[in-house]
Chains A and B, each alone.
Chain A
């Protein structure tokens, strides 16, 4: 158990809908990262938040957005869902994730999203 929690574990929805995925980092971690993993793409970095502020952006679509709240939990919002958005979505956390810091990312159990 990494100490990172994610809900829900599974999510099934229809095209065009909007969903929210939730992540709570390990106690004391300030950085949260979101990743998408599909069979043909591997683990793709979406976005990072540090202490409530966006820190880095990866291959995140404009239909997707995220935020980190004062209690450090984070939410990933996916809207106008398409069939191709079906994937495993992982959240990871680390101590700082800042320049010069070499801390390790610890991953949550993931949310499996199925878009029908």
Chain B
């Protein structure tokens, strides 16, 4: 299975930039997802990376390095509504399963 590690909690200031890291260990990597989840609500899809490099989508960008087992989610121009948990999920095809495994999530607190 995968070993997914992300910080438990981060704080940042409104208008700033924050980077949330995710490291993982897999033998059959087949893609990495980032989701945003507000407390008590459903996870919402943010980004998907399967090749090395940066994927930009508005204020959010996601980076992947497969050789390092590393990804980050970059949030720019932070807004109060960005306070949420950010989940990193990794798909590993070892054993034939295509179900992504989720990390425990990083709780981001944005303050004025």
Give chain A's interface residues, CB within 8 Å of chain B. Answer: 2, 4, 33, 42-43, 45, 48, 56, 58, 88, 90, 97-99, 101-102, 104-110, 112
CA distance A45 to B101 in the complex (A): 8
In the complex, given contacts A107-B35, A107-B42, what are 20 additional A-B residue pairs having Cβ atoms less than 8 angstroms apart?
A2-B42, A2-B44, A4-B42, A42-B102, A42-B103, A43-B87, A45-B99, A45-B101, A45-B102, A56-B99, A90-B42, A101-B98, A102-B30, A102-B91, A104-B45, A105-B33, A105-B45, A108-B42, A109-B41, A110-B42
Interface string of B49-61 (1 = CB under 8 A from A): 0100000000000
19 A-B residue pairs with CB within 8 Å: A4-B42, A42-B103, A43-B43, A43-B87, A43-B102, A45-B101, A48-B99, A56-B99, A58-B99, A88-B40, A97-B99, A98-B98, A99-B98, A102-B30, A104-B33, A105-B33, A109-B42, A110-B40, A110-B41
Most A C-beta atoms less than 10 A away, residue of B40, B41, B43, B45? B43
CA distance A112 to B42 in the complex (A): 11
Chain A residue nearest in CB terms to B33: A104
Cβ of B70 under 8 Å from chain A: no
Which B residues lie at the A interface, using CB under 8 A? 30-31, 33, 35, 40-45, 48, 50, 87, 91, 93, 96-105
CB distance from A97 to the nearest CB of B (A): 6
Known contacts A42-B103, A42-B104, A102-B31; decide if A97 and B98 are in contact (CB<8 Å).
yes
Task: Judge whether B30 and A42 touch: CB under 8 Å.
Answer: no
B-side contacts of A43, CB under 8 Å: 43, 87, 102, 105
Nearest-neighbor residue (CB-CB) of B102 within chain A: A43
Measured between beta carbons, the chain B residues less than 8 angstroms from A42 are 102-105
Contacts of A45 in B (CB 8 A): 99, 101-102
A105 touches B42 (CB 8 A): no
Q: Provide the bound-state CA to CA distance between A42 and B43, in Å.
A: 12
Question: CA separation between A2 and B105, bound complex, in Å?
Answer: 20
Closest residue of B by beta carbon distance from A45: B99
Complex Cα distance, B33 from A33, in Å, reads 16
